[in-house]
Amino acid sequence: MRSSCEGTIMTSNRAKFQLGQVVRHRFFPFRGVIFDVDPTFNNTEEWWESIPEHMRPKKEQPFYHLLAENEETEYVAYVSEQNLLPDDTGEPVRHPQVPEFFGDLSEGTYELLDKVRH
């Protein structure tokens, strides 16, 4: 979209995934439920530089906060949109904080609790 006032191109970083949606990582064996979204990268440069350069995602895209799990453990993950896919297993996420944010799971998406809605 072009702004007639400033003559600059404006971009929109509309999130592809939604709060409560269960997703999986495109390359690594983990999955999780989205509990927050940043419209663009919003973490430290140290974190950014810790990603091998050949795998570093672009910063100008939504980044998702996940209550994540792999075969061994549960944790919080921060993942770029380009590295996420919908999880089609229909299985709940076992992360212990899921009940703090979400209610029932239906068709791959948890119901957001009223106390969490803004």
Query: Confidence class of residue 115 from pLDDT cuts 50, 70 and 90?
Result: confident
pTM, rounded to two decimals? 0.86
Percent of the chain with pLDDT over 90: 79
Tens of pLDDT, residue by residue over 21-50, are: 999 999 999 999 999 999 999 999 999 999
| Cβ(42)–Cβ(100) below 8 Å | no
Query: Confidence class of residue 9 from pLDDT cuts 50, 70 and 90?
Result: very low
| Cβ(48)–Cβ(57) below 8 Å | no
pLDDT value of position 101 = 95
In whole angstroms, how far apart are CA 83 and each of 56, 67, 108? 10, 16, 18
